[in-house]
Amino acid sequence: MERINGIKKLTDNRYLNLYELDAAFRDGSRAPYYVASRRKSAEALKAATHDNCPDGVILYGVYGQEKDKLVLVRQFRYPIGNYVYEFPAGLVEPGEDMVAAGIREMYEETGLHLTPVHTARPFFTTIGMTDESCGTVFGYCSGNPTNANQEGSEDIQVVLADREECRRILREENVAIMCAYMLMHFIASEGDPLAFLSML
């Protein structure tokens, strides 16, 4: 049984669009299923191509001589009308690889220089509503934080958080779920927070 019998593009925006899928369910019934995507056409949706190329990149940056801080951003996000703690992140431009995108986005959002040590293949973000997937670049950061390179539409504060501050953030603040899990991992780790990468 075909699970998707057709795809219709409903909007035509620059960064994100809504698509209607003609979905066939396990019980034989059919109904529209709505998906947000960064893809530009119905033919390019991952439901059509089954290709998991990264739309964006998430940056796990360790900061400080003692490697005892994580680079976070506190960013205003319109869907919740409030600030949320996240890792620096951004879109992968056409023709750009994840590592180059990661270095660029870290500098644009935080003013810091990222020295990558590991990448993780793309994983899906909020799969119930979007086909977006993001790779992760892990590395060490240096330099002085600044928001001088941010776009005018961005409201981002750079945060260099040690383990105690990460505990406070998890208790008291809005946090993106991908960031929350990695903060828990950071809090529980000892020594170099990137040491676990040698086990992958």
Which tens digits make up the pLDDT trace of 44-93?
999 999 999 999 999 999 999 999 999 999 999 999 999 999 999 999 99
Mean pLDDT, rounded, for 189-198: 91
Residue range 86-101: mean pLDDT, rounded = 96
The beta strands (E) that lie in the chain are given as: 4-9, 17-24, 30-37, 56-63, 69-77, 82-86, 89-91, 113-124, 133-142, 156-161
Q: What is the mean pLDDT of residues 110-130?
A: 96
Q: Residue 7 corresponds to which tokens in the numbers above?
A: 């795809």
pTM of the prediction? 0.94
1 pLDDT above the threshold of 80: no
Q: Exposed, middle or buried by CB within 10 Å (0-12, 13-18, 19+), for 111?
A: middle
- Name the β-bridge partners of 79: none
Q: What is the pLDDT of residue 199?
A: 82
Q: What is the pLDDT of residue 200?
A: 77
User: pLDDT digits over 21-45, tens only?
Assistant: 999 999 999 999 999 999 999 999 9
Query: If you average pLDDT over every residue of the chain, what do you get?
Result: 95
Mean per-residue pLDDT, 161-184? 97
Cα R_g (the chain), whole angstroms = 19
For 173, half-sphere exposure in the C-beta direction (CA atoms, 13 angstrom radius) is 21
Calculate mean pLDDT across residues 123-147. 96
